[in-house]
């Protein structure tokens, strides 16, 4: 009853602008969008890549991606995905980026309510999701170490010698501890974050330059064009040459 009372109290601070509950589909209608309101996006089944500002990663069930007003949300499905998307205005300050909620049973219950709900019930659900985010972030190890490790990876991603052991040593922590804390905040391990950062840059270079694949590999931390091609194809479902051909205007 206490949680319900808190949610009802905060309902006055959130106004729903629209929502979508989508059954599994192979891709989003738009790969990116800029919103004038807050928005949240979460997978129900499947998974998707996302980027909000300089925060990027993979969202799976239990993750909620939030984009602030004026921000751009980029997304691309990794597998056919069912999802919930909501746009809203609020006096609250939900954490932008990706947060993994602690109470997944409560998340399932909220999503079940949306299936046959009216706008008032969905407003209640979105309010409760925002409160879950605020509670989770308040108790999560969101600290300087994880921010510093992310910045280190962003700065050194082009080094083929960069390793988890090096990253951990630079921050005075064991690799296993770093992976655990990093995943708790970012939703992905440092290794996956580094791979996604490298592939993000590779996609940019494929689209915006005429560099050979070997040059792109050297600029994104891969030792050979062959290895880059193998990782790129496995993660995106398309070869680098196909991506370049279909992504240029």
Domain locations along the chain: 2-139, 144-247
Residues 167 and 185: beta-carbon distance below 8 Å: no
Give the tens place of pLDDT for each residue, 93-108.
Answer: 888 888 888 889 999 9
Give the fold, CATH level 3, of 2-139: Jelly Rolls (2.60.120)
Where does residue 242 fall: left (phi above 0), alpha (psi -120 to 50 degrees), or beta otherwise? alpha
Q: Which residue in 153, 225, 20 sits closest to 216, CA to CA?
A: 225
Residues 199 and 237: beta-carbon distance below 8 Å: no
- Token digits for 209? 């330059």
pLDDT below 50 — which residues of the chain? 1-2, 4-6, 9
pTM: 0.58
Residues 103 and 66: beta-carbon distance below 8 Å: no
Give the tens place of pLDDT for each residue, 157-183.
Answer: 999 999 999 999 999 889 988 888 887
Give the fold, CATH level 3, of 144-247: Arc Repressor Mutant, subunit A (1.10.10)
Structure confidence at residue 249 (pLDDT) = 55
């Amino acid at each position: 009853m206490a949680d319900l009372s808190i949610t009802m109290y905060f309902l006055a601070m959130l106004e729903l602008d629209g929502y979508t509950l989508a059954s599994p589909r192979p891709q989003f209608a738009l790969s990116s969008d800029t919103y004038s309101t807050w928005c949240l996006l979460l997978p129900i089944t499947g998974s998707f890549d996302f980027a909000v500002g300089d925060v990027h990663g993979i969202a799976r069930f239990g993750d909620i991606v939030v984009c602030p007003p004026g921000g751009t949300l980029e997304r691309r499905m990794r597998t056919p995905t069912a999802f919930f998307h909501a746009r809203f205005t609020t006096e609250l300050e939900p954490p932008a980026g990706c947060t993994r909620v602690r109470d997944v049973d409560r998340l399932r219950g909220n999503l079940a309510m949306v299936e046959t709900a009216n706008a008032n019930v969905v407003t209640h659900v979105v309010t409760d999701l925002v409160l879950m985010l605020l509670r989770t972030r308040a108790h999560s190890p969101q600290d300087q170490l994880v921010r510093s490790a992310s910045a280190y990876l962003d700065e050194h991603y082009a080094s083929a010698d960069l390793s988890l052991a090096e990253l951990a040593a630079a921050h005075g922590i064991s690799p296993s501890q770093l992976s655990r804390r990093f995943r708790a905040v970012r939703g992905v391990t440092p290794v996956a974050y580094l791979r996604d950062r490298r592939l993000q840059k590779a996609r940019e270079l494929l689209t915006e330059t005429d560099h050979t694949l070997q040059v792109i590999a050297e600029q994104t931390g891969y030792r050979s064009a062959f290895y880059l091609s193998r990782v790129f194809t496995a993660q995106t479902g398309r070869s680098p040459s196909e991506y370049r051909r279909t992504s240029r205007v």
